[in-house]
Amino acid sequence: MEDHHVFCQADVQESKVDAVRLCSSGVAVYCLAAKQNAKALYATALVTANSDKLEEIESDLKG
């Protein structure tokens, strides 16, 4: 009976480790997607806006 208890505890610990890995992986994927989205938005802004407008936005953000 004690062996079964130890086995179950080990299985639970392994499941927790797997859950943390899965969560960490999900967070990393989310962050990479957000970074790519931000880069795409920035690239679009550079193409569509003139430099004066970008300087105005930069000034407003620092502001």
Angle at 25 between CA 22 and CA 28, to 5 degrees: 155
pTM for this entry? 0.52
- Residue 9 has a pLDDT of 63
Per-residue pLDDT reduced to its tens digit, 3-47 = 655 556 666 677 888 878 888 888 999 999 999 999 988 888 877
- Residue 32 has a pLDDT of 94
> Are the beta carbons of 59 and 51 closer than 8 angstroms?
no
* Nearest residue to 40 (alpha-carbon basis) of 30, 50, 48: 48
- Residue 46 has a pLDDT of 78
Q: Spell out the domain ranges in the chain.
A: 2-62
- Residue 51 burial (CB count, 10 A): 8
> Are the beta carbons of 34 and 41 closer than 8 angstroms?
no
- Residue 30 has a pLDDT of 93
Cα 54 from chain centroid (whole Å): 27
- Residue 31 has a pLDDT of 94
